[in-house]
A and B are shown apart, each in its own frame.
Chain A
Amino acid sequence: MPRLLSRRGFLITGAVLSGTVAVAATAGVGYLATVDIDGPDGFVDGEVGVLNAFVAIYTDGTVTVSVPKVEMGQGIHTGIAMLVAEELDIPFDDNISVEHPTEILPVYGGWASQLGIRPEEASGPLHWLGRRALGAVSLVSTGASSSTYELWTQLRQAGAASRHMLMGAAAERLGVPVSELTTPGDGTVFHAATGTRLSYGSLALAAATVPPPAAPALKPATDWRLIGRPQPRVDIPAKVRGRPVFGMDVVLPRMLHAAIRQAPVSGAAVARVANEAELRDLPGVVDVVVVDGHSVAVVADSWWTAEQALWQADIAWTPTEWDDLSGAELARRMEAALDSGEPNVVHDEGDPFPDAPGRLVEAAYSAPLVTHACMEPMNATVLVRGDGTAEAWVSTQSPTSARWGVFRGAEAAGTRPDDVIVNVTQNGGAFGRRLELDVVQQAAYLAARHPDRPVKLLWSREEDIGRGIYRSHARARLRAALGEDGLPLAYEALVAGQSVAQGMMGRLLPITGGGSPEGDFLTSEGLESPHYAIRSQYVGSYHVPSNIRVGLWRSNGFSHNVFFAESFFDECAHAAGSDPLDYRRRLLADSPRLRAVLDRAAAMAGWDRPLPPGRGRGIAIGGAYYSVVAQVVEVSVAADGEITVDRVFCAVDVGTVVNPNQVVAQMEGSILWGLTTALMSANTVENGAIVETNFHDFPVQRLRNAPRIAVEIVASDALPGGAGETGVIPVAAALGNAIFAATGRRLRSLPLAITESVGERRTRSVLRTEDA
């Protein structure tokens, strides 16, 4: 049966909400049934030649790249457009625009990442089956630093196939064989024998009907003009003019505005809104709504009006079993779990830990809950029509997650998932937070009560920091038995935390009950050290539930576990009387890739140059998302204990680099993200609720405490790795190791603090108990 495809995109530049290219595809095109990389057959729509799922060329020569990845600051729209432009052989200029497709095609699904492989590694019947199955589900999301390695081949093939089709159209028009044609790189097809030049724009419509090649040849690296060379970001010119449309900036005709108060104790229900009638009478207030039983929203003609009304709302919440829960109690429960001795075994390699180790090093570490605090607070705009169809405009990392959120919120209005169109806007930061569907579901719930009127729900910053979603806290015990050479013969790491996988699956997937915490690798990821030459390694995890919602957060478990492990190996180095750099070099004897990155960072920092008293240098390394990052932090510690990060040196190997300047930018951003959490940010629990509410009590880095950062890329021709998160991983440990070098004090709890009263830090006595 023919299916109407609306190939609508959300333009990332300009104020237009959606550029609509509605087109009817012929029946039976293969892409609906498969997830093959070549996507749909081409078709013509008015002035546009739609060559495949990714590339459309207008008759004026402009090229639109449909990117199924969200721009949340990481520069991916530019990187992806570069991959297409490279193979399409066009200049990287204003003629290229990028849009987020609203039609969620199977070809956009990141099936390989979901299988835990690179697309290039797919082989055999199991991968074929997995690809089929995931294609049917069609999950589209941006996360796990995966965009570049997921799309590296696919997008270049889309560009190469498009170029092939343009050349085919030119060959037919000129009556010459394709072999006589070239593309000189200026957006034309050239016939040297006659000196004829045909622009891509003039060929666009004809090209759309040329059969795509089965396996388009890709340029060898030596022919690249764009890949590996810094290109300016496509989104920045609009961003310096204040023009991009973030979710918060969506304005639609007859739109209503909503604000919300969620239960302070997550899980509590609304008992009553004592002054509901008064709130309804306030000027501008349209509706007062108990959302899903757990929140109170005010819908009004202005967000300011709605938020003001909520400040006056007298809401009573039902009691819960969590009402007495404190951070101290959660710490006790995690310690009790660690004492229980029956972990989920995540990694077990080599002999058991010796009963009588010759030289034992032991330490306990901890990290707090911490939220994302994206600069754009959570929001969503949803329209539910009288017939149950719905449309959402939302800054989200996943249109499929958002679609599910609209369905859940508006189910009572008869909305089904297939009835929902999601327009993905620019994301004002995301960091894993915008994979969640909570705000979308709430907005849809409100919109369903006001059919045919869009409702924009915006959380206050207080809702975001105090009633939101958090990276799990964690407490860990590590021990190592050192051999005669000082290196660990055996290493054991046990961690207790709250299961992110269980929480997220319960919230996001179309099943209730959630996933199994036993299989949750997010809690322990980064504790095992496969690259270190330690024969016996044992890693186990424990999961301690609570009512606090934990979720994905830039680099997830790596963010605390690599702090634990790389601080601990520093302790081992000192116990062995070794220089921490030299110790790691010996541990990396069999890992030349990591060792090269480590050496580069050390050389950048001048590792062997002594520092004056009160200053220190620490090093750490982390590998994840197919990339490796090593960092050296230089720190000053004042007599009163104040910690100042002076400089950070960062060496990174992300495999083949697409846009070097953006890899550097991601390292800078990751370092500052990691330092914020290492030194400042934490969420605490009292009476079952998160205590912090806004940036005055949830401090983050500002210009005045941002160190100098130097980044060098270690050249590689390996397949690309991820750049968005790996840089976060080592920085907290490098800082803690630097503080040790400066002061002789080993700090084992995040956020790191020498004294309780320094600067903006809050007292968190419980989480500090095991500091040396």
Chain B
Amino acid sequence: MVRFTVNTTPITLDVPQDKPLLWVLREDLGLLGPKYGCGVAQCGACRVLLNGESVPSCMTFAADVEGAEVVTIEGLAAPDGTLTAVQQAWIDEQVPQCGFCQPGFIIAATALLESNPAPTDAEIDDSITNICRCGTYPRIRRAIHRAAATLAGN
């Protein structure tokens, strides 16, 4: 049995302790925003916030989330649907192409701006290691700067 909260909803689940959080979210909780892209913490498509920190959910296990707060891409926007500054910046800069990897990038950017409200390009490049095959990297950098500016103005 594992107890944790997902997107503010308390969850109690009977799943194997070694089941990756990614598959708990996707198969047991129906949260399909986090994606399977590699299974070995290489690509970042599965990233979620675990107690505010960006982690690859494919290498985070059920046992690791006992008592934790997990936020997925579905849980970022406010209950009334208002997007976060990061999500809005992703629209304003027209970042996504296929969009498959973008939940992971948005999660990673959200965590980055939490710890570093005004990252430089080099800091963005060093801290976000996710993979996008469509080639949205230039727009991701721009969107993070835009979100940082929005958050600084608030």
A interface with B by C-beta (< 8 Å): 71-75, 232-233, 235-237, 239-246, 248-249, 251, 257, 302-304, 372-377, 426-431, 458, 460-461, 661, 665, 668-673, 694-696, 700-704, 706, 708-709
Residues of chain A within 8 A of B88, CB atoms compared? 240
Q: Does B148 contact A (CB under 8 A)?
A: no
Q: Which of B34, B38, B96, B97 contacts A240 (CB 8 A)?
A: B96
Shortest Cβ-Cβ A-B pairs, 3 listed:
A242-B33, A428-B100, A73-B98
How far, in Å, is A683 (CB) from chain B's closest CB? 15
Q: Which of B43, B73, B94, B126 contacts A695 (CB 8 A)?
A: B43
Query: Are A672's CB and B135's CB within 8 A?
Result: yes
Residues of chain A within 8 A of B66, CB atoms compared? none
Query: Are A668's CB and B139's CB within 8 A?
Result: yes
Q: Does B11 contact A (CB under 8 A)?
A: no
Q: Does B130 contact A (CB under 8 A)?
A: yes
Query: Are B135's CB and A72's CB within 8 A?
Result: no
A246 and B100 in contact, given A376-B35, A670-B135, A703-B141 (Cβ under 8 angstroms): yes
Residues of chain B within 8 A of A376, CB atoms compared? 35, 37, 98, 100
Query: Are B131's CB and A694's CB within 8 A?
Result: no
Residues of chain B within 8 A of A429, CB atoms compared? 98, 100, 133-134
Q: Would you mind naming 21 contact pairs between A and B with Cβ atoms under 8 Å apart?
A: A74-B97, A236-B90, A240-B83, A240-B91, A240-B95, A242-B74, A243-B33, A246-B100, A251-B32, A304-B19, A373-B133, A375-B37, A375-B132, A429-B133, A669-B135, A673-B133, A700-B131, A702-B129, A702-B131, A703-B125, A706-B125
Query: Are B94's CB and A236's CB within 8 A?
Result: yes
Quick one: CB contact mask for B121-154 with A, threshold 8 Å, 1 for yes?
Answer: 0001110111111111111110000000000000
Quick one: CB contact mask for B101-139 with A, threshold 8 Å, 1 for yes?
Answer: 111001000000000000000001110111111111111
By CB atoms of chain A within 10 A, which of B95, B98, B130 has the most? Answer: B98
Residues of chain A within 8 A of B35, CB atoms compared? 246, 248, 375-376, 428
Q: Does B72 contact A (CB under 8 A)?
A: yes
Secondary structure of the B side of the interface? loop
Residues of chain B within 8 A of A75, CB atoms compared? 97
How far, in Å, is B68 (CB) from chain A's closest CB? 20
Beyond contacts A241-B73, A241-B77: 5 other A-B pairs, Cβ-Cβ < 8 A, are A239-B96, A375-B37, A461-B38, A668-B135, A706-B137
Secondary structure of the A side of the interface? loop
Residues of chain B within 8 A of A431, CB atoms compared? 133
How far, in Å, is A373 (CB) from chain B's closest CB? 6
Q: Does B79 contact A (CB under 8 A)?
A: no
Residues of chain A within 8 A of B76, CB atoms compared? 241
How far, in Å, is A165 (CB) from chain B's closest CB? 33
Tell me, in angstroms, the Cα distance from A251 to B31 when the chains sit together: 11
Query: Are A72's CB and B138's CB within 8 A?
Result: no
Query: Are A232's CB and B97's CB within 8 A?
Result: no
Q: Does B87 contact A (CB under 8 A)?
A: yes
Q: Which of A242, A661, A704 contacts B94 (CB 8 A)?
A: A661
A244 and B99 in contact, given A377-B36, A694-B42 (Cβ under 8 angstroms): yes
How far, in Å, is B150 (CB) from chain A's closest CB? 14
Tell me, in angstroms, the Cα distance from A461 to B36 when the chains sit together: 9
A696 and B42 in contact, given A240-B87, A244-B99 (Cβ under 8 angstroms): yes
Residue on A with the closest CB to B77?
A: A241
How far, in Å, is B38 (CB) from chain A's closest CB? 5
Residues of chain B within 8 A of A430, CB atoms compared? 98
Residues of chain B within 8 A of A696, CB atoms compared? 40, 42
Query: Are A304's CB and B23's CB within 8 A?
Result: yes
Q: Does B27 contact A (CB under 8 A)?
A: yes
Residue on B with the closest CB to A241?
A: B77
Q: Does B39 contact A (CB under 8 A)?
A: yes
